[in-house]
Structures are given as structure tokens and as C-alpha cells.
């Protein structure tokens, strides 16, 4: 299971970051923070995680609801999954 997600210490309605949900058990989910992550994935309470079927949906949600009110350029710059950047339809998000 690998789905895109947004997450934040402030709850799922105020996302701060995009990651990959790699496993879910009950109300807990394991999140991968970066493509080349060297440390273990972390378990999060799903009350702090919003899950999406596509990466574009996750980016759009972060753009519209993010706690830091990032611009699309800031999201592109801070996106930690570089091999996916070229496959994102950035025009679909705007």
C-alpha cells in the first residue's frame, strides 16, 4: 500500500507536508517523508493524516489548506520525492 498523504502536528485539516502512507493499521498510519529517506518511516495517528488517490490531489489540498499557505512554487521546491516531480501535471493543480 502506497498512497499520497498530507500530514501535520496541527491535524489533517491544516496540513504542513506531503508524504507517502505506506501502511495503515486501525487509526495509525506509517508515513515515508522523503524518497531517499535514510531513517525509519514513522507511525502517525490518522487524525493528523489526510489520504489521497493521487499526488496531484495531495498537492492541491496542501496548496488550498496548508498551515503555511505555500505557493505552488514553494511546494515544488520543498517536495521530497524528486523522481515524481516530472510526472506531476502542475497545470491541473493551479
Question: What pLDDT, in 10s, does the model give residues 64-73?
Answer: 998 877 788 8
**What pLDDT shows up at residue 85?**
87
**What pLDDT shows up at residue 94?**
66
- DSSP string covering the chain: --EEEEE-TT-TTS--EEEEEEEEETTEEEEE--TT--S--EEEEGGGEEEESSHHHHHHHHHHH-TT---HHHHHHH-S-HHHHTT--HHHH-
**What pLDDT shows up at residue 93?**
81
Please give the residue range of the domain that contains residue 75. 3-93
Question: What pLDDT, in 10s, does the model give residues 25-54?
Answer: 999 999 999 999 999 999 999 999 999 999
Mean pLDDT of 4-21: 95
Q: What is the pTM of this model?
A: 0.90
Number of domains present in the structure of the chain: 1
Amino acid at each position: 500500500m502506497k498512497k499520497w498523504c498530507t500530514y501535520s502536528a496541527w491535524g489533517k485539516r491544516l496540513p504542513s507536508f506531503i508524504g507517502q502512507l505506506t501502511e495503515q493499521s486501525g487509526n495509525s498510519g506509517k508515513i515515508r517523508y522523503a524518497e531517499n529517506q535514510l531513517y525509519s518511516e514513522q507511525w502517525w495517528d490518522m487524525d493528523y493524516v489526510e489520504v489521497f488517490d493521487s499526488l496531484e490531489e495531495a498537492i492541491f489540498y496542501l496548496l488550498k489548506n496548508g498551515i503555511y499557505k505555500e505557493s505552488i512554487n514553494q511546494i515544488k521546491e520543498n517536495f521530497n520525492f524528486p523522481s515524481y516531480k516530472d510526472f506531476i501535471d502542475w497545470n491541473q493543480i493551479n
